[in-house]
Structure 1
Amino acid sequence: MPDGERWVITLDMPRPPKGLHANDRPSHWSKARATKELRSLVYYKVMSAKVPTMYRCRVDVEWVVKTRAKRDLDNLAPMLKVIYDAVGSDRGISAHVVPDDDPAHMEKPGATIRYDKLTTPYFRVTITRRYISTRIGTVRAAWVLYDNDGDFKEISEDRAEALMSAGGGS
């Protein structure tokens, strides 16, 4: 599937917010606060980047870090969910770039890590318009006759009409 236009936003944070990391054990309220703050931040960044509405998109999240310390990308799942919801959820604070953040409208390949020792750590979110491939073809109608064994054979339209008028089909 070909790629389309791209919009890049940066989140100036060195690590996931407290409460939005799989290894955190926050209270309900601190997680809700972190979710609301990150969702609002992503919403405003997407709106300021003037990302238009579209039917389908791909959202890539890249964590640019300074050191090669061991990091588990699976622990970013709570943060990724908030980012995906902020881009295209059908409810709550969302930029509504796509109708919903389900697989039919949004590709979510997960996060990647890039090492750059000369930079301050941050997250880069790339939204890419995805095109829907369509295949145009013809549909052929066929009349089928079933026998008592459950087998079938294709018959002509004239034969089907004759059977129908004689009360031999339903």
Structure 2
Amino acid sequence: MANLPFRIVMASALALAVAGCAKKKPAELPPPPASGPADTGADTSGTSTQTGDVPGSRADFLRQAGTDTVYFVTDSHDIDSEAQAILLRQAQWLARNPRVRVTVEGHADERGTREYNLALGDRRANSAKNFLAANGVDAGRISVISYGKERPAATGSDESAWAQNRRAVTVVPVGGTGF
């Protein structure tokens, strides 16, 4: 029975501690967030937030540039007129978003040795980089990497698959800034 007063004191202390931890409702709720585009540091001229694209984002890049990929003919790293038009749109987007850095990936089809395809992918990535730089994009904002035949866009051993794999891809990070 000597423990009874001690138990009462402990139970009371426990009840006070639990009551003190209860979450209280705020007297007034904060205002809802403003309904404007997020500040990404990117230029918003000529962009539309109706599609939900954040200016300077990967989605904005794909919408405005049309595509992130240019294709090459077999054993070539020459930029043809179709690739020039695509890369020019990419360069214009990059000019409007000067804080965005990109990586150009070079790829090859499955034919040829691993070493040959890595070198060919590197030449393709550098051709795309050089075109972008020649059209006003600071070369320091562009990194290149070659995957050779290691990351095919299409599987198969026919001309259709090979044509899809002979490419250079301009990669804009999901958040819009990179490296």
Alignment TM-score > 0.5, same fold: no
Give 1 or 2: higher helix fraction. 2
Of structures 1 and 2, the one with the larger relative CO (CA 8 A, separation 6+) is 1
Q: Max radius of gyration: which structure?
A: 2
